[in-house]
Structure 1
Amino acid sequence: MKVLVLTNLFPTPWDPLRGAFNRQQFERLGRRHELHVLTAVDFRERLHGRRGDVQVPGLATDHFVFVCPPRLGRALHAACWLLSLLPQRGRRLRAAGYDCILASWAYPDAVAAGWLARLLGIPYVVKVHGSDLNVQATHALRRPQIAASLRNAAAVVAVSRALAGKAVALGADAARVHALYNGVDGTRFAPGDRTAARTRLGLEDGGGPLLLYVGNLKESKGCLDLLEAFAAMAATQPQARLVYVGEGACRGALLAHARTLGIEAQVRLAGAMPHEALPDWFRAADLLCLPSHNEGVPNVVLEAMACGTPVVATRVGGIPEVVPAHAGRLVPLGDRAALAEALAGATMQAWDHAAIADHARSFSWETNVDRLDAILQQAARRGAAAEALR
Structure 2
Amino acid sequence: MKVLVLTNLFPTPWDPLRGAFNRQQFERLGRRHALDVLTAVDFRERLRGRRGNVQVAGLGTDHFVFVYPPRFGRALHAACWLLSLLLQRGWRLRAAGYDCILASWAYPDAVAAGWLARLLSIPYVVKVHGSDLNVQATHALRRPQIAASLRAAAAVVTVSRALAGKAVALGADAARVHTLYNGVDSKRFAPGDQAAARARLGLEDDAGPLLLYVGNLKESKGCLDLLEAFAAMEHAQARLIYVGEGPCRSALLARARALGIDTRVRLAGAMPHDALPDWFRAADLLCLPSHNEGVPNVVLEAMACGTPVVATQVGGIPEVVPAHAGRLVPLGDRAALAGALAEATAQTWDHAAIVDHARSFSWEANIDRFDTILQQAARVGAAAEALR
TM-score normalized with structure 2 length = 1.00
Q: Write the mapping of 1:41-80 to structure 2, written as runs, cut at 5 A.
A: 41-80=41-80
Match of 1:151 in 2: 151
8 Å contact from structure 1 (residues 290, 312) kept in 2: yes
Q: Write the mapping of 1:276-355 to structure 2, written as runs, cut at 5 A.
A: 276-355=274-353
Q: Write the mapping of 1:107-118 to structure 2, written as runs, cut at 5 A.
A: 107-118=107-118
1:362 aligns with 2:338: no
Q: Write the mapping of 1:243-254 to structure 2, written as runs, cut at 5 A.
A: 243-254=241-252
TM-score normalized with structure 1 length = 0.99
1:6 aligns with 2:10: no
Match of 1:265 in 2: 263
Quick one: which of 364, 372, 381 aligns to 1:374? Answer: 372
Match of 1:223 in 2: 223
Kindly state the Cα deviation for residue 293 of structure 1 after the two structures are TM-superposed. 0.1
Deviations 1:208-244 (A, max 9, x none): 10000000000000000000000001x2x10100000
Deviations 1:234-263 (A, max 9, x none): x2x101000000000000000000000000
Q: AA paired with 1:357?
A: V
> How much is the aligned-residue C-alpha RMSD, in angstroms?
0.4
Distance 1:260 1:37 in 2: 45
3-state SS of paired residue (1:113): helix
Distance 2:110 2:139 in 1: 16
Aligned length: 388
Kindly state the Cα deviation for residue 352 of structure 1 after the two structures are TM-superposed. 0.3
Distance 1:229 1:314 in 2: 13
8 Å contact from structure 1 (residues 227, 258) kept in 2: yes
Match of 1:255 in 2: 253
3-state SS of paired residue (1:260): helix
3-state SS of paired residue (1:28): helix
Distance 2:357 2:384 in 1: 42
Gaps of 5+ in 1: none
Kindly state the Cα deviation for residue 206 of structure 1 after the two structures are TM-superposed. 4.5
8 Å contact from structure 1 (residues 206, 239) kept in 2: no
Distance 1:207 1:159 in 2: 37
Match of 1:199 in 2: 199
Distance 1:197 1:348 in 2: 21
Distance 2:60 2:164 in 1: 30
Identity of aligned residues (%): 89
8 Å contact from structure 1 (residues 312, 330) kept in 2: yes
Q: AA paired with 1:360?
A: A
1:35 aligns with 2:5: no
Distance 1:38 1:47 in 2: 19
Gaps of 5+ in 2: none
Distance 1:83 1:91 in 2: 13
Q: Which runs of 4+ in 1 moved over 3 A?
A: none
Distance 2:86 2:340 in 1: 50
Match of 1:178 in 2: 178
Deviations 1:163-185 (A, max 9, x none): 00000000000000000000000
1:100 aligns with 2:100: yes
Match of 1:240 in 2: 238
Distance 2:348 2:257 in 1: 32
Kindly state the Cα deviation for residue 336 of structure 1 after the two structures are TM-superposed. 0.0
Deviations 1:154-204 (A, max 9, x none): 000000000000000000000000000000001100000000000000001
8 Å contact from structure 1 (residues 206, 240) kept in 2: no
Kindly state the Cα deviation for residue 207 of structure 1 after the two structures are TM-superposed. 2.2
Distance 2:49 2:365 in 1: 38
